[in-house]
A and B are shown apart, each in its own frame.
Chain A
Amino acid sequence: MKLINKISVKFFIVTLLLFIVFGIVTLYVIKTEIQAEIDEELQSTTEEVIKRIEIEKPVDFKPFIEINQLEKSAEETSQFNNSILPDEDNESEIYRELITHKKIKGEYYEIIVRSSSPEEDDLYSSLVKVFLIVTPLLFISLYFVNRSTAKQELKPFYENLDKLKNFSLKKNTDIEFEKTNVAEFNDLNNAVTGLILRAVTEYKLIIESSENLSHELQTPIAVIKSKLELLRQKEDLDSDTVMLLNVMENNINRLSKLNKSLILLMRLENKEEFESGPVNVREILEKHTGFWEDFLSGKGIKLKVDTNLYPEINANDTLIDILISNLLSNACKHNIENGDINIITGSNFIEISNTGLKPSTDTGKFFERFTKSDSLKDSLGLGLSIVNQICNFYGYEIKYSFENNYHSIRVNFC
């Protein structure tokens, strides 16, 4: 539920309760007022009637004025009463009456003066009518106030929310929040701005230090690799030693590749500058298809290259080389025996599709780090993640699809 609606509902309920209390109080006050007024009137009428009796011109106007001569003496009293009498239509009506016992010129009289008092039902129904008119009005006006508040006052809030949703530390952009005249929003904006600033600083620090760490790692790896190679040159190595050396070399190479890939990913994420220039996609493509020739013929995979037009792009040629190399290696590795690979290029895209098994893992995860199919233990699982990062870096659009047993990845260089 939206905050503004929550507040409105509470406000509405409280208002409703207040209305009811207000109605009851009003009813009570009006009733008392009316009764007091009536009583006053009854009293003055009684006095008038007494005067008339004194000058022997009595009035008798039933049921409003009733004069009865009493047989025996009585105490002089006057008493207000409510009584119910039938009217002409034989419907009972409530009357307020003042019964006065008075001795006038030696005679005892009972004077009853009546006034029809307004019925409570009428009062109630009037109040309910008011209530029924005002409540929807209140509701409607609340709705419109909410809508316009949401539109105007909350507009900067929603705009800022959108900015926050799109914010990513990787994009490295500062957020400029919309200014509002709502104190809470400004407080929030200030707090979030501070938070982002700290996060960005710390993120940069982490990236930089991991990049430095990775670079530092390359040196000991290089030393170990060079010593292993020198060790290989020794005469008369027995087969056990050779096996140990193989395992070591294999793993040191793996470590080095992993490290290199991570450095590249970090540099891309950190949006570091790369020298760029026109890239010869054709040359790169031919080089890499040449690399994979052996593999393809070994597995009976047919490579079809449909390239009349080559993309003309301005980028770092090593990055594009890595991009194409990883895409192609992905298409080769995840292929099946006697499968196909189709490469299509256009003036602004490259699409590589290959036969392969139905993806077992979530295809959305293909571009995440360390996602690899179980069958390929040698692969680092970084290839497509690097491809994705390179595309992000240059703002290329990358699309994966699986149709008719063909996996295809298309990169639009836009």
Chain B
Amino acid sequence: MKLLTVEDEKDLAESISIYFNNEGNICEVVNSYEDARTKLNIYEYECALIDIMLPDGNGLDLIGEIKKQQPNCGIIIISAKNSLDDRIKGLDLGSDDYLTKPFYMSELNSRVKSVLRRRFFDGNKSVTFGEIKIYPEEKKAFVNDKEISLTKKEFEILVYLISNTRRVLTKESIAEHIWGDFADSYDKFDFVYTHVKNLRKKLSDAGCKDYIRSVYGTGYKLSEE
């Protein structure tokens, strides 16, 4: 997939592009409003990641621009402003999602994939990994075409893992994905552990290979190896 990142903080933009390019995507980076407009005039993108506070303009204005020129392009706002109304404004203007800095790359990746699924496959797109097939919008998971029953949290963890295959996901990032960043439960790592344990059991009970690897001291990784 082809992404455009509009972010004036070069170090952050670089992290984003490295993370996405590693997965075989094309992630282009611009650091200003004007550069973003130029790029949008020439190339087509599947998703744009837009910072609101740009040195030469407001990222929110880019949303209208994109809506006009490339109505198929998904839009995710990434902003340092934890502003409760910029989010609403952004979503009103037609952005698909909103992420507040700082965020996990894996979270951003998962959001991008979710936006793309909704945009390009009417939300019915299934995602497959080995014997596992999930329908994220319908919240259904299958192993070898047989539906397995997962709790909401187990399902969310599975989607998160599949969105970030072959990536190391920290327990912290999984916890934040499920509970959001205002829920600061001090036992959350234990709960992540329990849910992953149950998920693994349910998958293997259904005859699935154990793809979920524990990464020592860190978290988990979904991988075929």
Residue positions of A touching B, CB distance < 8 A: 215-216, 218-219, 221-227, 229-230, 232-233, 239, 242-243, 245-246, 249-250, 252-253, 256-257, 260, 263-264, 273-275, 288, 290-292, 294-295, 298, 316, 318-319, 321-322, 325-326, 329, 332-333, 376, 378-380
Contact call A218/B84, Cβ cutoff below 8 A: no
B38: CB under 8 A from chain A? no
* Complex CA distance for A333 and B16, rounded to whole angstroms: 36
Q: How many A-B residue pairs have CB under 8 A?
A: 128
Contact call A329/B184, Cβ cutoff below 8 A: yes
Q: How far is the CB of A76 from chain B (nearest CB, A)?
A: 120
What 9 pairs across the A-B complex have the smallest Cβ distances? A226-B15, A222-B102, A378-B186, A222-B101, A218-B80, A294-B191, A275-B85, A242-B217, A225-B102
22 chain-A/chain-B pairs, Cβ below 8 angstroms: A219-B12, A222-B101, A222-B102, A223-B12, A226-B105, A229-B170, A230-B15, A233-B22, A233-B167, A242-B217, A242-B218, A246-B170, A249-B172, A264-B82, A274-B84, A288-B183, A294-B191, A316-B85, A325-B183, A332-B185, A333-B185, A333-B186
Point out the residue from A222, A264, A291, A332 that lies within 8 Å of B103, measured CB to CB: A222
Q: How far is the CB of A394 from chain B (nearest CB, A)?
A: 13
For window 8-43 of B, CB contacts with A under 8 Å fall at: 9, 11-12, 15-16, 18-19, 22
Query: Residues of B contacting A221 with CB < 8 Å?
Result: 101-102
Query: Residues of A contacting B185 with CB < 8 Å?
Result: 291-292, 295, 329, 332-333
Contact call A322/B12, Cβ cutoff below 8 A: no
Residue positions of B touching A, CB distance < 8 A: 9, 11-12, 15-16, 18-19, 22, 80-82, 84-85, 87-89, 100-106, 152-153, 167-168, 170, 172-173, 176, 178-187, 190-191, 194-195, 216-218
* Complex CA distance for A249 and B102, rounded to whole angstroms: 12
Q: How far is the CB of B190 from chain A (nearest CB, A)?
A: 7
Query: Residues of A contacting B85 with CB < 8 Å?
Result: 273-275, 316
* Complex CA distance for A161 and B34, rounded to whole angstroms: 56
Q: How far is the CB of B87 from chain A (nearest CB, A)?
A: 7
* Complex CA distance for A249 and B180, rounded to whole angstroms: 16
Contact call A219/B9, Cβ cutoff below 8 A: yes
